[in-house]
Structure formats: structure tokens, C-alpha cells
Amino acid sequence: MKAVKNILSWVIPILVGFLIAAVIKTFFVSVVKVDGTSMYPNLQNNERILMLHKAKIKRDSVVVFDAYGVDQNNTGLTKDTKYVKRVIALPGDTVEYRDNGQLFVNGKFRSQGYITSQQQADGTLKVAANLPKAKGVVLGTGSTFKVPKGKYFVLGDNRSVSNDSRYYGFVPRKKILGVVKVPFWNGKHDLINSYQRAD
């Protein structure tokens, strides 16, 4: 009987620990691996990041979403495929891109300080040659569009290579799994964690 008590004294805490970890992973936070260079230079290929399941989605938030059924251009996706992108516009927002990739949301200029002016100008309005023909949101100088209710307009920070809303359209809220956070010692944390800039 004493042996059983000894075994239970270390088995029960381990089981409780696993249960707590499972609850945290399911409802609060998960670790996600970045796959590809679409968020470069702010997130690197194979970098591990934290995803908060319940965090509020704002403009400029970096999010993880279930790409299966969203990116219909890519027939090789599985139900486990996740994309990491930046939210440019929220449901109901009106978006306009002007010369050199200048972004206006609801008529107000957005600086996009998380990428360089060159990245904005060279990548935003051009469609990457290596990606399928755009079936998503067509961006053009002076053209505007409104984000539908319950959906988000997302772009990768590495605009010239990113497969994003320009190719597959808006991302439904139900597909967004969480908001990305990186630790403070990551040199890019201020460009990822709730990026805010006075415009």
C-alpha cells in the first residue's frame, strides 16, 4: 500500500501538469513555427512564435490562420496548414493604396512602419511572378475596396513574395486561430507585438 501511495505521489502531479498544459494550449497559447519568408524581415523562416488564442485582433496585428479552404489557389494544402500574416484592415474598413504603396484605411494614412518604404513601393501593388494568378483583392493606385463583415484583409510583410489576400481574398474571422506574440528579447518584438505607430 505504501508503494502505491509513493507512486501516486509523483504520478498525480505529472498528470495534473499535463492536464494544465493541455488546457493552456487549447484555450490560451500555442507555439507555432513560421514556414517561409512572407513575413521577412520581421519573422524568419522556421522561427517559433507564440500565438494567443483570445487576443483582440487589431489593425497591424500579426495573426495565424487556418489556410485550408481560404487559399484555394494552393491545392496542396492540408487541414493543418497555417499561414502567418499581418492584418491590414478590419471588417467594414475601406482600403485604398496610392502611389508607392501608400496605405489609407478609412481615409487615414497608415505608415506601415514595420516595413521599409522600398518594400511598400516595390512589393505591395505588384503581383509576384512565382505565385498563381491573383483571384483575391486587386490592388491598384487609387482603387478602393471595402472589407466585408466578418472578414479581414491580410498581407505578408515581405510583400514582393507573400501569398496573401491579394491572391486568395479576405480571411474569415472563424479561420483566425490567434494573434502572434514574440518575446521581448526578440529584436523585432516592437514590430510584431501590437504594433502601434502614430500616423
Q: Cα(87)–Cα(70) distance, rounded to whole angstroms?
A: 15
Q: How many CA atoms lie within 13 A of 176 on its CB side?
A: 26
> Does residue 3 sit in the same domain as residue 42?
no
> Does residue 108 sit in the same domain as residue 171?
yes
| Per-residue model confidence as pLDDT tens digits over 136-182 | 666 666 678 899 999 999 999 998 888 998 888 899 999 999 999 87
Which residues does the annotation mark as catalytic? Answer: 38, 85
> Does residue 169 sit in the same domain as residue 89?
yes
115: CATH: 2.10.109.10
**Secondary structure of residue 152 in the 3-state scheme:** strand
Residues of the chain whose pLDDT is less than 50? 197-199
Buried b (16+ CB within 10 A) or exposed e, 77-100: beeebbbbbbbbbbbebebbbeee
Task: Count Cβ atoms within 10 A of the Cβ of residue 55 and give its class: 0-12 exposed, 13-18 middle, 19 or more buried.
Answer: middle
> Does residue 120 sit in the same domain as residue 186?
yes
Q: Is residue 129 part of a domain?
A: yes
The reported pLDDT for the residue numbered 26 is: 55
Q: Is residue 197 part of a domain?
A: no
> Does residue 11 sit in the same domain as residue 39?
no
The reported pLDDT for the residue numbered 144 is: 85
**Domain housing 175:** 34-192
> Does residue 2 sit in the same domain as residue 26?
yes
> Does residue 42 sit in the same domain as residue 12?
no
Tally of structural domains, the chain = 2
Q: Is residue 199 part of a domain?
A: no
Q: What's the full length of the chain, in residues? A: 199
> Does residue 77 sit in the same domain as residue 20?
no
Q: Is residue 89 part of a domain?
A: yes
